[in-house]
Structure 1
């Protein structure tokens, strides 16, 4: 059995988040110590919280976490729905990564521009400016 501090440390979720996940039905009901009333988590609870922490870290919202948990409980009957849920979030993350790569390229090109400017190399500065402008056309607005 684990305390809330244990599962918080192991899952990376804060104690208030762990309590909130219980409150909204993502985990639980959680056993309580008979003498103190403190929550006591078992291995299955810890595994569930670790899964939820991973989903949270990838930007999955509470409603999709609920769907994920419900699909887990349904097993094979929910396999197609579970796959679609996970792939939808994977595609979103792929798009975010692609956008971050463009932003990274922007930073590197701007650094090259300032490097050329520092050296007083007008030709390199002009080339870097063109590259920065090309990258800017690929930047997506930050949401």
Structure 2
């Protein structure tokens, strides 16, 4: 089995994007009412991380049925390395105040496409 760096180099040599991102799966570890008290600080932190260029995507995940919110979220960071991504995750008030725990993994983005529609006068952006 190749190392991460070997796989990344092979992906690039095949013409893939090979963009390294960091995926955080954040799981509730405190009662909802306690997490609600930390939510404003968490959202402010997310805005700061986004403004710094380190937040790619973030949001809640459903349960396996797709019908219920289960208290798990996914955050995707741009960072120079895993240690930097961990430092960003550790500083999130939800994690720093033990409201949530997380797992973090490297994600090598090779394929796919993003499509945006921007309506300037309507101040609307849609992604598909």
Report 1 or 2 for greater relative contact order, CA contacts < 8 Å, sequence distance ≥ 6: 2
Q: Which has the larger radius of gyration?
A: 1
**Structure with the higher helix share, 1 or 2:** 1
Common topology (TM > 0.5):
no
- For Structure 1 versus Structure 2, the TM-score category normalised by the shorter chain is under 0.3
